[in-house]
Amino acid sequence: MLAGNAAGGLACLLAFRLVSLAHDAPAVLIYPSLFLVPFTIGLVAAWVWRPLQLGIGLSLLHSLLCTVVGLLAAYLAFREGVVCLLIVSPILYLGTVAGALAGRVWFRSKNDRINFCLGPLLLLAVAGEPSLRGAHESVVTDEIRIAAPPAKVWPHVLAFPAIREEPRYWLFRVGLPYPVDTTNGGNFVGADRACRFSGGAVFKEKVAELVPEKRLTFDIVEVPRDPELVGHLDAHRGQFELRDNGDGTTTLIGRTWYSLRVRPAVYFDWWTHDIFRAVHLRVMRHIQQLAESGEN
């Protein structure tokens, strides 16, 4: 049974190697589809499992073990973060199961010529898919209403003291770094800022646009080398916008622009939005508390 897992993994490693050679880039920069790869692993595993004549239930169980082995390998060999693996595990399992079940049907029939074509075709798909896709860029926007005018909110947007509140978001509780405080090197375009996350991770930022009491935009110039944060997505820009509601309240809007490297984008976009929303709301609720309590 483990032979199936090993064969699938080997097939994908071969495909990665081909991709990295073709792109003349280190393998770490290549991000193959996290659906296509487990699908291929499942399919290759199903081919190896043929003599076992597995039923559907056992195929599901073996695929689960395949996924666990794959996650362990990613943790040990690629030093992936636990939260990343947690996020990726449902699609990894789904891909492996889909491959194993498709393979179970495919390899039971006696059409060896078609079965023989399947391997090279899939390897080609795994190897070629990263070069076919374009960059996936998106923005996450969140807003809250603060019972204070923009003049009271603005100073806390520029910089704020440590957030003492325990994180509510479940991924923060299991180890994903969460924002703790922000420091400000000056209130002018080009000034340095730093957003410190739990675990000592620091995002270095540079002010790109500053319109007092209206808008603060900053470029994210350096991302910490945290295994939970590195490589999968790039957050390039953040923004706070203040809208005066004319009744002594302010709508605070937080935005983050990012590009996603991992695929399938639909799946990872959903997670990225969820995570950025939690980051935004943690910071914006803190700003709300400070502004509404009149602290300086």
E strands, 147-232, in order? 179-184, 192-197, 202-211, 215-222
Burial state string for 139-171 with b = 16 or more CB within 10 A and e = fewer than 16: ebebeeebebbbebbbbbbbebeebeeebebeb
Of these, 10, 72, 111, 295, which contacts another protein (CB under 8 A)?
A: 111
Q: How far apart are CA 260 and CA 234, in angstroms?
A: 7
- 118 touches another protein by CB under 8 A: yes
- 57 touches another protein by CB under 8 A: yes
Q: How far apart are CA 283 and CA 163, in angstroms?
A: 8
Q: How far apart are CA 284 and CA 282, in angstroms?
A: 6
From the list 71-79, 95-103, 165-173, 212-220, the region that binds another protein by CB under 8 A is 95-103
Footprint of another protein on residues 119-138 (CB under 8 A)? 121
Of these, 34, 39, 40, 177, which contacts another protein (CB under 8 A)?
A: 39
- 65 touches another protein by CB under 8 A: no
Of these, 1, 82, 98, 210, which contacts another protein (CB under 8 A)?
A: 98
Least distance from another protein to the Cβ atom of residue 226, Å: 32
The three-class DSSP label of residue 77 is: helix
Count of all residues that appear for the chain in the document? 296
Of 63 and 184, which CB lies nearer to another protein in the complex structure? 63
> Where on the chain is the footprint of another protein (CB under 8 A)?
39, 55-57, 60, 94, 97-99, 101-102, 105-106, 108-111, 118, 121
